[in-house]
Amino acid sequence: MRRELQTNLQYVDVLNEWDPFGLTNGGYDTEIADTIQAIHELDAPDELAKRIQSIYEFSFEKLIPIEKCLKVAKELLMIKENDACSI
């Protein structure tokens, strides 16, 4: 359980740093929670990128280019993969 919490905190750090709309830290709490849920459900970078794009579009009514979503999706899935390998 502790390891999963640590991994989720890594996701939060990555997503706060990403800051696609130039808000300051803390402006994406709902989107980060939804994205972490998606990370647990999906393993394919393109699927996760599309989900991230739709989560943020729903909240902000702005579309993030899929390339930017794909970049962060790959980073998040790398964390997920590293966590799975270290069990």
Cα 18 to Cα 3: distance, rounded to the nearest angstrom: 23
Cα 27 to Cα 6: distance, rounded to the nearest angstrom: 21
What is the CA 73 to chain-centroid distance, rounded?
6
In this predicted structure, the answer to whether residue 87 has a pLDDT above a threshold of 60 is no
Residues 53 and 14 sit within 8 Å (Cβ to Cβ): no
What is the CA 57 to chain-centroid distance, rounded?
14
User: Residues 48-63: pLDDT tens digits?
Assistant: 999 999 999 999 999 9
Tell me which residue of 8, 33, 12, 20 sits closest to 67, measured CA to CA.
20
pTM beyond 0.75: the answer is yes
In the block, tokens 């970078």 appear at 45
Which tokens belong to 10?
């890594």
In this predicted structure, the answer to whether residue 24 has a pLDDT above a threshold of 80 is no
What does the pLDDT read at residue 30? 95
User: Residues 28-48: pLDDT tens digits?
Assistant: 999 999 999 999 999 999 999
